[in-house]
């Protein structure tokens, strides 16, 4: 079947050869580029020129196959007049059809078995050495002309074209992409004087603010490990019975305040434990998805009489012979030790009658990590930095900072009638917890509110009308704010500006890439590395991420392109200050890719195969990465990568 499909693809290729040329010697200058590109199906990304020739070389039937046996594109044309139509999502088990309306991947059901000479359909060197046997050592790198090649975890070479203006350089025992010294990109005086080598694409706009003498960053951890194993953890919320009863974990979520679950993390050590904070409790699960008991505070053993006394204090007298029947339902609860729960109610319920209510916080729910007094309400929209949460309260007129570890809460009173925007991108908190900023709005007017948490001082700066600072970040010590502006003036819209907060002056701005000037779409990502050395912002209509060095004159050092044609929805810097994880796409088409932000090399890509991506987080020790997807309330799907 697959051979027949490839034959049909080959016939289609032959029929399109002449349409891809317009005479001459067959060089790309003689090609009808528009005709070539027009042959690509809907939803694919056309590439022409040298990259297409390289990608299509040796493509059987015009189908481009990667080192894992996945079909990644379709080629048309011949000689140097070729177009490579890259698929948005690789076809793991081959291609069923390629037409103008799109690409249909072949089903993996009944795919060719191990021994067909192609590493495909979930085959690995471990389960099919004959097809997937290593040809190189993982992370090994080499140059193929100007193209960088890197050995993936399956021991196969992957081609990673260098960014525009860079070439592959092999030195010693490894290869990397470096700027082509023969190319000077637009703007500045690259290659002259003290700014030699700085490339800014002519996009920098100097301001009159000064860069701080020193940016104090967070101590970096050891490098994030490259050799990773994946642990899959599934936590089901329904038991799969005909009645679809909630699982033990789902019941725990209800008791703990399920809508307040907002942070998952991995605990250090072995075995693997996942932990999440609710409104007033902690839930923990092991690698099998089972609840792990948390330590409970002791209470003296309860008797029927002591339990009945607490009940009567809340609901009035009841006959003594009914006391046992009132206590019985609580002894049947399976969310905690029944004897402990009854003892807790007997000791505390007379002062807090809500403890008796089934859908109210119970003794068990308040046993672990209670929030500070007065810190009630939803936390799922809060901005989390370490163990500190920044959120808006009182109708979004007050900023509140909660220290989960210290159990403290401080508030920023309303300022001039300006309301705080609810979502996290319009707030920022420095890593040291001393400085917070947030966009305040009142009608069409906006200000940037700056809060010195330690001194309790607050002020409003940068007032404007008709625009907004819609995404922001702070250096780890809170000295410099990075702001993304969206406004009616197309020349200023989508500028990324660095501000010295002490001076209230702009240091420098970065213009958007030329292809997005005038677009009003907000940034998907804007983040600063833990040491304050790197800035990550989206580019290419959010389908890529630019990496810039931070300083009085930022320098763009890399452009990271996930390659699945989807927008980057989030990113996370690892605590090592160099590794970066990008999430792109939605649903089953989402991907998470791991990169070296300094040399721009991608070294791992994972498909999010089930549910919607909800969480992307490195562990505090910098040795684990957590990916969480959720399937419409039916289950949580975790993938934890660790050494």
Q: Regarding predicted confidence, which is higher, 184 or 157? A: 157
User: First vs last Cα of the chain: how many Å apart?
Assistant: 41
**Rounded to whole angstroms, what are the CA distances from 500 to 209, 474, 552?**
6, 10, 10
Q: What is the CATH number of the domain that holds 415?
A: 2.120.10.60
206, part of any domain: yes
Ranges 22-36, 278-292, 345-359, 523-537: which has the least confidence? 22-36
CA angle in degrees (0–180, nearest 5) for 87-82-599: 60
pLDDT at 450: 93
Closest CA to 70 of 1, 186, 158: 158
pLDDT at 528: 95
366, part of any domain: no
For residues 50 and 170, membership in a common domain is answered with no
**Mean of the pLDDT values across residues 304-317?**
90
**For the whole model, what pTM was predicted?**
0.63
Task: Report the C-alpha gap between 58 and 79 in whole angstroms.
Answer: 12
pLDDT at 437: 92
pLDDT at position 184 over 50: no
Surface-to-core class of residue 351, CB atoms within 10 Å of its CB (0-12 exposed, 13-18 middle, 19+ buried): exposed
Number of domains observed in the structure of the chain = 5
pLDDT at position 183 over 50: no
Ranges 412-416, 454-458, 580-584: which has the least confidence? 412-416
For residues 309 and 259, membership in a common domain is answered with no
Ranges 345-359, 475-489, 529-543, 594-608: which has the least confidence? 345-359
Q: Please say whether the dihedral angle defined by the alpha carbons of residues 422, 426, 427 and 428, taken in this order, is positive or negative.
A: positive
Closest CA to 206 of 195, 215, 192: 195
Q: Regarding predicted confidence, which is higher, 563 or 336? A: 563
**Rounded to whole angstroms, what are the CA distances from 486 to 5, 518, 521?**
49, 10, 8
Domain boundary among 97, 112, 133: 133
Closest CA to 577 of 551, 605, 549, 544: 549
For residues 507 and 406, membership in a common domain is answered with yes
Chain Cα centroid distance, residue 40: 30
Which two tokens mark 124? 């690995």
169, part of any domain: yes
Surface-to-core class of residue 558, CB atoms within 10 Å of its CB (0-12 exposed, 13-18 middle, 19+ buried): buried
Structural domain span for residue 329: 304-356
Query: 185-220: per-residue pLDDT in tens?
Result: 322 222 222 333 344 567 888 999 999 999 999 899
For residues 141 and 266, membership in a common domain is answered with no
pLDDT tier at 134, thresholds 50, 70, 90? low
373, part of any domain: no
Q: Regarding predicted confidence, which is higher, 589 or 378? A: 589
Mean pLDDT is highest, among 35-39, 158-162, 254-258, 570-574, for 570-574
626, part of any domain: yes
Domain boundary among 91, 112, 133: 133
Ranges 407-411, 449-453, 554-558: which has the least confidence? 407-411
For residues 403 and 501, membership in a common domain is answered with yes
Closest CA to 120 of 58, 156, 76, 68: 68
For residues 413 and 485, membership in a common domain is answered with yes
For residues 463 and 591, membership in a common domain is answered with no
Contacts of 192 (CB under 8 A, 6+ apart): none
pLDDT at 10: 39
Three-state SS sequence of 308-359: HHHHHHHHCCCCHHHHHHHHHHHHCCCCCCHHHHHHHHHHHCCCCHHHHCCC
For residues 331 and 265, membership in a common domain is answered with no
For residues 14 and 104, membership in a common domain is answered with yes
530, part of any domain: no
Task: Report the C-alpha gap between 475 and 429 in whole angstroms.
Answer: 9
Contacts of 115 (CB under 8 A, 6+ apart): 128, 130, 131
For residues 59 and 145, membership in a common domain is answered with no
Contacts of 398 (CB under 8 A, 6+ apart): 392, 411, 412, 413, 414, 420
Contacts of 404 (CB under 8 A, 6+ apart): 277, 369, 371, 387, 388, 389
For residues 516 and 417, membership in a common domain is answered with yes
372, part of any domain: no
For residues 410 and 469, membership in a common domain is answered with yes
295, part of any domain: no
């Amino acid at each position: 079947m697959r051979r027949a499909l490839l034959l049909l693809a080959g016939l289609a290729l032959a029929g399109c050869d002449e349409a891809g040329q317009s005479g001459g010697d067959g060089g790309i200058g003689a090609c009808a580029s528009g005709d070539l590109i027009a042959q690509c199906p809907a939803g694919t990304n056309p590439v022409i020129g040298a990259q297409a020739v390289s990608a299509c070389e040796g493509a059987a039937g015009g189908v481009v196959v990667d080192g894992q046996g996945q079909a990644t594109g379709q080629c048309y044309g011949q000689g140097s007049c070729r177009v490579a139509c890259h698929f948005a999502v690789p076809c793991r088990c081959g291609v069923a059809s390629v037409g103008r309306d799109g690409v249909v991947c072949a089903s993996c059901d009944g795919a060719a078995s191990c021994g067909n000479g192609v590493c495909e359909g979930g085959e690995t060197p471990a389960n099919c050495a004959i097809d997937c046997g290593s040809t190189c050592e993982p992370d090994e790198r080499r140059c193929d002309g100007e193209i960088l090649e890197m050995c993936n975890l399956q021991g196969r070479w992957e081609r990673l074209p260098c960014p525009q203006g860079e070439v592959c350089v092999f030195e010693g025992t490894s290869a990397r992409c470096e700027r082509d010294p023969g190319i000077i990109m637009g703007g500045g005086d690259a290659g002259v004087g003290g700014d030699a080598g700085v490339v800014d694409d002519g996009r920098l706009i100097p301001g009159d603010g000064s860069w701080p003498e020193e940016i104090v960053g967070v101590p970096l951890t050891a490098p994030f490990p490259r050799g990773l194993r994946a642990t899959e953890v599934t936590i089901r919320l329904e038991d799969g019975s005909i009645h679809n009863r909630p699982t033990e974990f789902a019941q725990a979520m209800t008791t703990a305040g399920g809508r307040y679950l907002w942070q998952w993390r991995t605990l250090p050590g072995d075995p693997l434990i996942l932990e999440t904070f609710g409104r007033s409790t902690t839930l923990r699960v092991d690698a099998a998805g089972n609840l792990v008991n948390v330590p409970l505070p002791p209470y003296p053993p309860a008797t029927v009489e002591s339990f009945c006394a607490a009940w009567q204090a809340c609901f009035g007298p009841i006959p003594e012979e009914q006391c046992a029947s009132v206590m019985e339902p609580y002894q049947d609860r399976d969310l905690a030790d029944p004897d402990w729960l009854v003892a807790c109610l007997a000791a505390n319920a007379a002062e807090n009658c809500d403890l008796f209510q089934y859908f109210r916080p119970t003794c068990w729910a308040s046993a672990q990590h209670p929030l500070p007094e007065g810190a009630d309400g939803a936390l799922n929209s809060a901005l989390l930095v370490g163990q500190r949460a920044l959120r808006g309260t009182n109708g979004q007129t007050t900023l509140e900072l909660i220290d989960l570890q210290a159990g403290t809460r401080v508030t920023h009173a309303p300022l001039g009638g300006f309301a705080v925007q609810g979502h996290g991108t319009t707030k920022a908190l420095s890593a040291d917890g001393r400085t917070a900023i947030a966009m305040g709005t009142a009608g069409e007017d906006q200000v940037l509110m700056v809060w010195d948490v330690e001194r309790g001082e607050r002020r409003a700066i940068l007032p404007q009308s008709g625009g907004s600072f819609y995404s922001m970040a702070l250096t780890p010590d809170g000295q410099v704010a990075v702001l993304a502006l969206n406004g009616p003036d197309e020349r200023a819209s989508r500028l990324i500006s660095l501000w010295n907060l002490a001076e209230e002056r702009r240091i420098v701005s970065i213009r958007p890439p030329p292809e997005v000037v005038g677009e009003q779409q907000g940034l998907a990502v804007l983040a600063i590395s833990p040491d304050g050395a790197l800035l990550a912002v989206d580019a290419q209509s959010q389908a890529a991420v630019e990496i810039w060095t931070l300083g009085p004159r930022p320098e763009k050092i890399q452009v990271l392109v996930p390659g699945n044609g989807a927008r980057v929805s989030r990113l996370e810097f690892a605590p090592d200050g160099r590794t970066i994880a990008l999430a792109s796409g939605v649903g089953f088409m989402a991907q998470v890719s791991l990169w070296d932000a300094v040399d721009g090399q991608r070294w791992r890509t994972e498909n999010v195969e089930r549910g919607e991506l909800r969480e992307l987080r490195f562990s505090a020790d910098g040795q684990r990465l957590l990916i969480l997807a959720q399937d419409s309330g039916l289950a949580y799907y975790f993938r934890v990568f660790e050494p």
